[in-house]
Amino acid sequence: MSLQLPQPPAAALRAVLDALDDPDAPGALPVRSSAMRRCIGPLTPALPLPLHQLDPAATPGDGATQLARARRTGWRFLIKECDEVVAAAVTLERGPDEPGSGEPHVFSHFAEGPYPAATLRALQQARLHTAGTPTTYLPRLLSVPAHYMTALWLHPVLPATPTPDLLIPLVPAPLGVTPHIPHHAEELLALLALTGGDPVEAAVEAAVEAVVEAADGSADGGAGAGALLTSTR
C-alpha cells in the first residue's frame, strides 16, 4: 500500500481555478506571487491537501487526542508550471454560520517561499516511506502556529493493526526538530510540548541553563560540564 491522495471539494478547486483565471478578482488578492508572474506557460493546481490547524494550548491531552481535535481550516494546492512547482494556493473552509457569499470554500491567497517545494519533497519521501507497507495513509498538512511548524501528516486509513500517525516536518522546522524525517506524531508533539510554545524563548532558556550548568561544573572540577556534553549528544 502507499498514499491515498484525497480528492478536494469541487468548491475549493473552483475557487483556485477562478483565482488563476482572474488574478484581479477581489477574492484573489493579494495578486500572484513574483514566481508566478515570471511564468510563461499555463499554471495548474495539483496535489491538493487538506490543511488542519492544531492549537496545543486549546487542546489538552496526549498527541492522539490533539490530532483528533485538529481543526480543518481549508485546502492547499501546489501550483505548477509544467512539472515545476512555483507556488501554492490556499483556500479557506467556511462554516454554515460564518459571514460570506455562501460558498463553503473561498480562495485565500497565493504563497511562495520554502513551503511549496518542501511539501512536494515531503510527499515524495512519504511515498518511499510507505511503499511496501500493509497500511494505506491519507496525507494531510498540519499547521502548529504556536511552534512555527507545518508538517505533512500521514494518517493511517483502516489499518489491520494499531498504526501510529506520522508527521514529516517541512523545512524550516522548529528548533530541535529534524525536518523531512518521518516522526511518530505523538512523540513529536510531546517533544514540541517541552519547548513551552515559543522556540526562541526556549532556545534562550536552554542556553542560559547550559551556561549555568557549565559554570557549576567548572566549580566542581569540571564534572558537571562533562555530564552536560554527554547529555546533549
Most confident of 31-40, 75-84, 206-215, 222-231: 75-84
27: Cα within 13 Å, side-chain hemisphere: 21
Percent of the chain with pLDDT over 70: 74
Q: What is the pTM of this model?
A: 0.77
pLDDT at 202 over 70: no
pLDDT at 84 over 50: yes
pLDDT at 179 over 90: yes
Query: Edge-to-edge strands of the sheet including 43-53?
Result: 105-111, 84-93, 71-81, 43-53, 136-144, 149-157, 166-169, 183-184
User: For the residues 17-27, what does the mean pLDDT come to?
Assistant: 72
Cell triple for 156: 493511517
Instruction: Name the band, by pLDDT with cuts 50, 70 and 90, for residue 12.
Output: very high
pLDDT at 150 over 90: yes
pLDDT of residue 204: 46
Instruction: Name the band, by pLDDT with cuts 50, 70 and 90, for residue 41.
Output: confident
Cell triple for 14: 473552483
115 in Cβ contact with 168 (< 8 Å): no
pLDDT at 22 over 80: no
Main-chain phi, psi angles of 20, to 5 degrees:
-70, -35
Instruction: Name the band, by pLDDT with cuts 50, 70 and 90, for residue 188.
Output: very high
Q: Which residue has the higher pLDDT, 25 or 10?
A: 10
pLDDT of residue 227: 32
- What is the average pLDDT score of the chain? 79
Strands 136-144 and 71-81 come out as: unpaired
Main-chain phi, psi angles of 131, to 5 degrees:
-65, 135
Cell triple for 187: 512523540
User: For the residues 97-115, what does the mean pLDDT come to?
Assistant: 80
- Cα separation, 192 vs 182, whole angstroms: 15
Q: What separation in angstroms does the CA of 209 have from each of 204, 206, 213, 224? A: 9, 5, 6, 12
